[in-house]
Structure 1
Amino acid sequence: MTVFSSQKRTAYSLWIIFLTLDFDIWEVKCTSVAEVDRHLQMGVQMLAKGQLHDALSHFHAAIDGDPNNYLTYYRRATVYLALGRSRQGLQDWMKSLDSKPDFTAARAQRAGVLVKLGRLEEAHIDLEHVLRKDPAHEEANRLYTSIEPLKRDILEAYSHVRTGRYNHAILILKSVIEHCPWDAALRDLRVEAYQGVGDMMSAIADIRVTTKLTQDNTEGYLKLANMYYQIGDVEQGLNEIRECLKLDPDHKNCFTLYKKIKKINKILNDAQEYVNNKEYEECVNSANKVHIISVDFQ
């Protein structure tokens, strides 16, 4: 009898423990849901106030608490887009659409970003999905009708550059890049056209944009350094080649150019000192050194 009573007491105690565990798990789960909702609400409020980095932090926390909520990914993608981080936004729209393929708002926004990136075929597919579900979608219709003309214009621009009709290419690319401002390849093409007509400053402006559009764009900084050197702004060329070496200290072409521009920059600074001190013969000698290095550089 004593053993039986002991077993009953043990069983009762275990039952109480299991009930407590279940209650604790339920309580934690509810707390977690409440916390996720709080982060979502705060994220929406911060977004409405234009406090984008704060909104992003709250959406990060909401996704950590509930990684399966398609709407949270959509909201975070919107913040990424507002911050100019389109590629991260695309990843979030992908996750949102993986969970809810018929989410028209996410697909329409993703199509808009794809057009800006120049990824026209992918945008075309998304827009067809949107218009099948919502034929009256105004923005989707506008984008959809723009894609084929854009593709034709891009082909024509490439043809003009290949055949040396640079002014025609520049004219076409101006309009195309207004629609696809985040397409680095189109800007590179326009750089070639600008160089063809001798407009180095416009070429520099486009390359500077590509260094922001393309991650770790060492080639972009190398081009910038070369162009600044060509127009005689050696100091700025030195700054740009340093940016290249920050990204890749072992970049052979950047390091070679860095050594030459650094040497020329020092000689030019010395020449300026000679001018200031009215040591004109030394200034002429410095100019000759620059000429020799420049000929060797070519």
Structure 2
Amino acid sequence: MGKSKAAICDLSKAVELRQDFTSARLQRGHLLLKQGKFDEAEDDFKNVLKSNPSNNEEKEAQTQLTKSDELQHLHSQALSAYQQEDYEAAISLLDEILAVCVWDAELRELRAECYIKEGEPSKAISDLKAAAKLKNDNTEAFYKISRIYYQLGDHELSLSEVRECLKLDQDHKQCFSLYKQVKKLNKQIESAEEFIREGRYQDAINKYESVMKTEPDVPVYATRAKERICHCLSKNQQAAEAIKVCTEVLQLESTNVNALKDRAEAYLLEDLYEEAIKDYETAQASSENDQQIREGLERAQKMLKQSQKRDYYKILGVK
């Protein structure tokens, strides 16, 4: 059932009741090795070898003892690589160890640190979540997960994880400080999105400007805020401003589909049909099945075609 701690407790009681119970010692040694408790595992394997075991038990105990020695050597190499900031080598070594020591929370946390240094946050999150389950009251793991989600711009998941940390320790200073920051930011973003749904675009713009002031140090929030401000300006028919803000977003994320769509709409308001078509086509390359893009492109092409015809009413100055 994967309940290794409970199993070890029962096996320990079995060994206490019967000192020569070699199969119980052997099984406990296996579980201790999976937890990365090398010294304790080795004690069990050595005791099995001293207790007149069967041939199979002797062979298995010797094999596991050799494996434990190898893993300890790899562990030393992994720590050395980490200290020397050779994170790629450390990850490779830790992969090998964790293939056996699957229930070692500390090794998973160490590999998570390496993943963070190597710029692989999703892999770090995976290891930290496992570590949070393996070690009771692991507030540090929840705090780190929350920080990573926050840095990635996922404020909702960040808030969820930091709450888990505070459930374990409501006085945790780092978690409480992060909680206040994420909660404030989350509330501002939710309010802004509510304003957009209600068509209150200027109120939404003001709220997203507050978001950028609340979190000036994590670039993803400023980019997302500008993306939504661009949308509001476009919907509010403030074409020139919308084009300016959308362009700022696209300088950072050249294939941002939302910014491309909103700038295209702003271009149409300014009768810049060719520019609008170009934006729609760029957006379509990244999101082929988006019906809104397809309809926008067709509309822009139609408007360009109409603009190229002579408007004799306009020439003659009559309605």
TM-score by length of 1: 0.68
Match of 1:262 in 2: 183
Of 131, 144, 166, which aligns to 1:210?
131
1:113 maps onto 2:34 in alignment: no
Q: Could you report, residue by residue, the CA deviation over 1:59-102 in whole angstroms, capped at 9, with x for unpaired residues?
A: xxxxxxxxxxxxxxxxxxxxxxxx32222222222221112111
Evaluate the alpha carbon distance shift between residue 163 and residue 280 of structure 1 in structure 2; reply closer, same or farther with a 3 A threshold: farther
Structure 1 position 219, deviation (Å): 1.4
The 5-angstrom pairing of residues 191-270 of structure 1 reads: 191-270=112-191
Partner of 1:182: 103
Q: Deviations over 1:132-174 (max 9, x none)?
A: 3225424323312211111111111111111111111111111
Gaps of 5+ in 1: 1-82
Amino acid at match of 1:91: C
Offset at residue 297 of structure 1 (A): 8.8
**Moved segments of 4+, more than 6 Å:** none
1:211-249 per-residue CA deviation (whole Å, 9 max, x = no partner) reads 111111111111111111111110011111111121222
TM-score between both structures, scaled by the size of structure 2: 0.64
Task: Give the match for residue 286 of structure 1.
Answer: 207
Q: Is the CA contact (8 Å cut-off) linking 1:161 and 1:192 kept in structure 2? A: no
Q: Which amino acid aligns with 1:93?
A: L
Contact 2:137 2:168 in 1 (8 A): yes
Amino acid in the other structure paired with 2:61: A
Contact preservation (8 Å) 2:78, 2:90? yes
Q: Distance in 2 between matches of 1:108 and 1:190?
A: 29
Which residue, 158, 161, 183 being the options, matches 2:79?
158
Whole-angstrom CA distance in 1 between matches of 2:130 and 2:202: 42
Gap change, CA 1:147 and 1:288, over 3 Å in 2: same
Does the CA-based 8 Å contact 2:151-2:218 persist in structure 1? no
Match of 2:10 among 89, 92, 106: 92
Judge which range, 241-250 or 271-280, deviates more.
Answer: 271-280
Q: Which amino acid aligns with 1:145?
A: T
Bigger helix share: 1
**Distance change (3 Å), C-alpha of 1:279 and 1:163:** farther
The separation in 2 between residues aligned to 1:297 and 1:255, in whole angstroms, is 19
- 8 Å contact from structure 2 (residues 185, 211) kept in 1: yes
CA-atom RMSD, angstroms? 1.9
Which residue of 1 is the match for residue 298 of structure 2?
Answer: none
* Equivalent AA in structure 1 for residue 45 of structure 2: L
> How much does 1:277 deviate?
4.1
Q: Given residue 196 of structure 1, which amino acid in structure 2 is its aligned partner?
A: K
2:75 & 2:110 partners in 1: Cα distance? 10
1:42 corresponds in structure 2 to: none
- How far is the alpha carbon of 1:279 from its aligned partner? 4.2
Match of 1:8 in 2: none
Q: Residue type matched to 1:119 in 2?
A: K
Q: Which runs of 5+ in 2 are unaligned?
A: 220-319
